[in-house]
Structure 1
């Protein structure tokens, strides 16, 4: 089995305009649904590469109150066939720098976009097998140079079973490619389980005497510092209807 190759993109919209993320997400999910019936990739004016092998697995509205910039979109793309599949198709559009690269139906809609290529590691479930969730916990961790795989192995062995007890389903364990100091994890969770987990942590800190404490949540934070070398952040993402990881797609 080939390694799973993915692309994570964070898109900002400025000046602050609440309609722009909605317009972008609606445009994106609509045209990717059209690509599901394509038999061959094609470079088009206005929409760049059109291919069923470059699959929009998740389109999310970032929950700003959890630490994202307001009005932000996060997308997760799956390159079917790995390096020689969807990734090759994306790279092909840059050969010769075709002028169609510089035409887009969404010119002036986005303010900025930042992409990170991701490589799945052992224990990361295929996205086609990840059930939709109400919310997704998105972690970006800066690790010591060269420690990404060790950190993700510890997450798989130690943290995943703990979070599973708190209703979190592992959706992705990723090494950020072309760098040696960043890892990304993704977890599906319901709102109720998210809230219960936060209260269990508060109780372990002695800050909630009405919830059952789980000191293991604090212990993982100490354990993670064996690998970390900079900022670590968890934020929440709300799946937008029309992508595979959104609950509405669960029935078909």
Structure 2
């Protein structure tokens, strides 16, 4: 099986305007739904590359109160076929620097965007399988961790074998374990959860620290944070994402909750 190749993009909107993320996510999810019926990829004026192999799996509104800049969108893309599939198609649009690259229907809507190319770590769920299953969650937990140079895959293996069972006991489902490509100092993990699971996990962590005497403590939660320091070198942060209605990982009516 080929390694899964994905792309995570964070988009900021300025000046601060709460409608801009909604306009962007509405535009993006609409045109990617149209791409599902395409047979061949093409470079189109105003929308750049159109391809069913470059699959918008997750479109999220960032929950600002969890540490994101206010009014931010996050997208998660699956490059079907890996390096020789969707990734190749994205790279091909830069050959010759076609002038259609510089035209977009959303010019002036975004202020900035930052992309992370991601490589699936061993044991990472296959996003296409989750989509086929019809999986969706109320919220997603997004972690970015700066690891020691070269330690990303070791860290992700520890997450898979040690942390994932702990979070599973608290209603969190592992969605992705990713090495950030073209660097050797960052790893990304993604988890699906309900609001109740999110709150219960936070309270169990607080109780383990002696900060909540009304909840059942789980010493494994702060214990993992100590264990993670064996791999980390710099900042670690978790934030929460809310799936945009109609996106593939959203919890739509009739789909099973996590």
TM-score, reference length from structure 2: 0.96
Deviation digits for residues 10-48 of structure 1 (CA, Å, limit 9, x no counterpart): 000001000000000000000000000000000000000
Deviation digits for residues 212-249 of structure 1 (CA, Å, limit 9, x no counterpart): 00011011000000000000000000000121101128
- Tell me, yes or no, if structure 1 residue 214 matches structure 2 residue 223: no
Runs of 4+ in 1 over 2 A off after TM superposition: 249-252
SS at match of 2:115: strand
SS at match of 2:252: helix
Partner of 1:62: 62
- Tell me, yes or no, if structure 1 residue 245 matches structure 2 residue 249: yes
The alpha carbon displacement at 1:128 in A equals: 2.2
Aligned partners of 2:32 and 2:245: how far apart in 1?
A: 12
Partner of 2:158: 154
SS at match of 2:75: strand
Deviation digits for residues 111-166 of structure 1 (CA, Å, limit 9, x no counterpart): 00000000001111111233210000000000000000000000001000110000
1:61–1:240 contact (8 Å) kept in structure 2: yes
> CA RMSD, aligned part only?
1.1
1:132–1:249 contact (8 Å) kept in structure 2: no
Q: Which runs of 5+ in 2 are unaligned?
A: none
Aligned partners of 2:125 and 2:254: how far apart in 1?
A: 17
Aligned partners of 1:242 and 1:75: how far apart in 2?
A: 13
Deviation digits for residues 76-134 of structure 1 (CA, Å, limit 9, x no counterpart): 00000000000000000000000000000000000000000000011111112332100
1:60–1:237 contact (8 Å) kept in structure 2: yes
The alpha carbon displacement at 1:251 in A equals: 4.8
Partner of 1:48: 48
Partner of 1:132: 136
**Aligned pair count?**
252
